[in-house]
Chains A and B, each alone.
Chain A
């Protein structure tokens, strides 16, 4: 423990500190500032204590009810999307060939949706889903299935979920594929000699060996789906009604639409805390599991 102590080292950290100060610390403090003040206009702010937070966390108030509904929508969306994308991604990964030119071709095809800018994904699906001219919407209606994502909440939800699955299953598949590729051939051989079936190979070899990458996939997909904004804002704009108004969409409406700064500031802070807490809890549980295994 005889590391040289040199206080000049702090100088080298300074640029980063300044950068972080302007990029995140000051904006966050501004939000914190708004969340404890109210205004009557003319840029006159006065102390409001924790009233915004009290309102927000009380579902019986107008804003509290809105927040609670949006939060439930968010959690439901993340859950549905994870429940679809994980198994599907793993299934796709297992089907990707292991040798030859087909590997490259499959990987490119799978990664394609990941390369499209998010608002373009939204635009593609908005047109695709249109009940009058969209390939999906018009075809479904033509088949006699009632579908209209601008009027029917179920259609809107289905569109957004399917869009997300289309957009992000590729990432889960790529991660799972990386996990599968790292399994030595000897494991498959041993299973064949044991006489193990396909399911037992998956259950006892592939799944445990993929565990680490799948944890990362779940973490990434949860965070991204919980913060979803761009695609639904382009496709449904939060509608019909409030049916696809996720927290981020609602936040933008309150902050920029209604210029209700106090409510918006309190809401964004709580939103942030929820995301942080869930990720922290998730991360802790996973590292604990890992530690138990790596003894």
Chain B
């Protein structure tokens, strides 16, 4: 089965909730919808499930327009951020519920529920009520409900967001495997870039109801097509700098000149530079290109994210290891030009050659 969204849009009153989204999903693939809260991920899923009707565009399943086809006639399953189970039914009955509604015969129900509960390790809890389970077990039950249905389209709407860290890692690994056998199209909505990278497959980045970019997940991360896609796919947030380029030399908006290796080789004009945390480093020896004051240090496992206030912007820098930079301390920041994306004023990425110049500059120096 294939699902295609063709120029799909949704307006509610005056507000455009989904703006002209075109996307295609193939059988047996993992697809990530990546975007911050309110970017339209859930709405897009509702449209795909048939819970809402798009105001413009078409949704094609195997080439047939399915707009207007009622939800229950579609082969769709969905798992939500909240743990949604029938509160008065046992775990067994919960898993069986979509099959009962569909009128599947008794023996078949029994075998399918047994299989789903085995792979989701719910066997010991089949006779309990959802309220008697931990959060992780409740979400496993909800996933089992989606699994037994053997739906062709499985929508996972931030399914792990309410789980603790360990469980999240565990289930994130399991989820794609669980559904792989059925050949279903998996669509997974998340706000976290790292989750998208772990899931792989293809990713579409969403920003304010628009799809900003779409492609294989790793290449999307390496090559954001525009500033919105880069922002959505960066956590900690993308470091940014507005520059104007004249005769191959860039200056900041406040007039200060940038080092040569950060001057993009581009026609004169205004540009925005963007780079991720891993390309901004703190130089203990003070040899960095920029100097600022530390405002916050986030220690995240083996890495420390140091927020440095440079006056014209606040950047987040990566320091390996656990460092406790005190707020107010002076920090010298260097930027690796190879990781700098250059965007036009309208946000579109332009190919620029910072790295090459960097090499000649450093050789010259």
Interface residues in chain A, defined as those with a beta carbon under 8 Å from any beta carbon in chain B:
184, 186-187, 189-190, 192-196, 200, 204-205, 207-209, 293-295
Residues of B within 8 A of A187 (CB): 84
Q: List 12 A-B contacts (CB under 8 A).
A: A184-B84, A187-B84, A193-B72, A193-B78, A194-B72, A204-B86, A204-B88, A204-B97, A205-B86, A208-B88, A293-B129, A295-B131
Closest approach, in angstroms, between the C-beta of B355 and any C-beta of chain A? 47
Name, among A184, A187, A189, A207, the residue most crowded by chain B CB atoms within 10 Å (CB to CB): A189
Q: A190-B78, A190-B80, A293-B132 are in contact. Are A195 and B87 (CB under 8 A)?
A: no
Q: A192-B51, A193-B51, A194-B101 are in contact. Are A186 and B131 (CB under 8 A)?
A: no
Closest 10 A-B residue pairs measured CB to CB? A195-B72, A208-B88, A208-B87, A186-B80, A204-B86, A190-B84, A195-B101, A194-B98, A186-B84, A295-B132
The answer on a CB contact under 8 Å between B76 and A193 is yes
Residues of A within 8 A of B82 (CB): 184, 186
Residues of A within 8 A of B81 (CB): 186
Name, among A190, A192, A200, A294, the residue most crowded by chain B CB atoms within 10 Å (CB to CB): A190
The answer on a CB contact under 8 Å between A192 and B72 is yes
The answer on a CB contact under 8 Å between B87 and A205 is yes
Closest approach, in angstroms, between the C-beta of A180 and any C-beta of chain B? 14
Question: With A and B bound together, what is the CA distance between A193 and B71 in angstroms?
Answer: 6
Closest approach, in angstroms, between the C-beta of B190 and any C-beta of chain A? 17
Closest approach, in angstroms, between the C-beta of A81 and any C-beta of chain B? 26
Name the residue on B nearest A196 (C-beta).
B101
Contact bitstring B39-50, A, C-beta under 8 A = 1, else 0? 000000010010
Q: A193-B76, A195-B102, A293-B129 are in contact. Are A207 and B84 (CB under 8 A)?
A: no
Residues of A within 8 A of B97 (CB): 194, 196, 204
Given contacts A189-B78, A190-B80, A293-B132, list 17 more A-B pairs with CB under 8 A. A184-B82, A186-B82, A189-B80, A190-B78, A193-B77, A194-B72, A194-B97, A194-B101, A195-B72, A195-B98, A195-B101, A204-B86, A204-B89, A204-B97, A205-B86, A205-B87, A207-B88
Which chain B residues (68-104) contact chain A, with CB distance < 8 Å? 71-72, 76-78, 80-82, 84, 86-89, 97-98, 101-102
Residues of B within 8 A of A196 (CB): 97, 101
Interface residues in chain B, defined as those with a beta carbon under 8 Å from any beta carbon in chain A:
46, 49, 51, 71-72, 76-78, 80-82, 84, 86-89, 97-98, 101-102, 129, 131-132, 145
- The residue that A200 contacts in the complex, of B51, B87, B101, with Cβ under 8 A, is B101
Question: With A and B bound together, what is the CA distance between A190 and B80 in angstroms?
Answer: 9
Q: A200-B101, A205-B86 are in contact. Are A195 and B132 (CB under 8 A)?
A: no
| Majority secondary structure, A binding face | helix
Closest approach, in angstroms, between the C-beta of A254 and any C-beta of chain B? 47
- The residue that A209 contacts in the complex, of B46, B87, B98, with Cβ under 8 A, is B87
Question: With A and B bound together, what is the CA distance between A190 and B77 in angstroms?
Answer: 8
- The residue that A192 contacts in the complex, of B71, B86, B87, with Cβ under 8 A, is B71
Question: With A and B bound together, what is the CA distance between A205 and B89 in angstroms?
Answer: 10
Residues of B within 8 A of A294 (CB): 131
Closest approach, in angstroms, between the C-beta of B38 and any C-beta of chain A? 15
Residues of A within 8 A of B78 (CB): 189-190, 193
Residues of A within 8 A of B145 (CB): 194
The answer on a CB contact under 8 Å between A189 and B89 is no
Name, among A184, A192, A193, A205, the residue most crowded by chain B CB atoms within 10 Å (CB to CB): A193
Closest approach, in angstroms, between the C-beta of A171 and any C-beta of chain B? 24
Question: With A and B bound together, what is the CA distance between A188 and B6 in angstroms?
Answer: 27
Closest approach, in angstroms, between the C-beta of A211 and any C-beta of chain B? 8
Closest approach, in angstroms, between the C-beta of A146 and any C-beta of chain B? 46
Residues of A within 8 A of B51 (CB): 189, 192-193
Question: With A and B bound together, what is the CA distance between A200 and B78 in angstroms?
Answer: 18
Question: With A and B bound together, what is the CA distance between A190 and B97 in angstroms?
Answer: 11
Question: With A and B bound together, what is the CA distance between A28 and B76 in angstroms?
Answer: 66
Residues of A within 8 A of B98 (CB): 194-195
- The residue that A195 contacts in the complex, of B71, B80, B129, with Cβ under 8 A, is B71
Question: With A and B bound together, what is the CA distance between A196 and B71 in angstroms?
Answer: 10
Residues of A within 8 A of B102 (CB): 195
Residues of A within 8 A of B76 (CB): 193
Question: With A and B bound together, what is the CA distance between A209 and B81 in angstroms?
Answer: 19
Residues of B within 8 A of A184 (CB): 82, 84
Closest approach, in angstroms, between the C-beta of B68 and any C-beta of chain A? 15
Closest approach, in angstroms, between the C-beta of A179 and any C-beta of chain B? 12
Name, among A195, A204, A205, the residue most crowded by chain B CB atoms within 10 Å (CB to CB): A195
Closest approach, in angstroms, between the C-beta of B155 and any C-beta of chain A? 9
Residues of A within 8 A of B49 (CB): 189, 193
Residues of A within 8 A of B89 (CB): 204
Name the residue on B nearest A189 (C-beta).
B51
Closest approach, in angstroms, between the C-beta of A262 and any C-beta of chain B? 51
Residues of B within 8 A of A295 (CB): 131-132
Closest approach, in angstroms, between the C-beta of A197 and any C-beta of chain B? 8
Question: With A and B bound together, what is the CA distance between A205 and B85 in angstroms?
Answer: 9
Closest approach, in angstroms, between the C-beta of A198 and any C-beta of chain B? 13
Closest approach, in angstroms, between the C-beta of A203 and any C-beta of chain B? 8
Residues of A within 8 A of B77 (CB): 193
Residues of A within 8 A of B46 (CB): 189
Question: With A and B bound together, what is the CA distance between A295 and B132 in angstroms?
Answer: 5
Question: With A and B bound together, what is the CA distance between A189 and B51 in angstroms?
Answer: 7
Residues of B within 8 A of A186 (CB): 80-82, 84
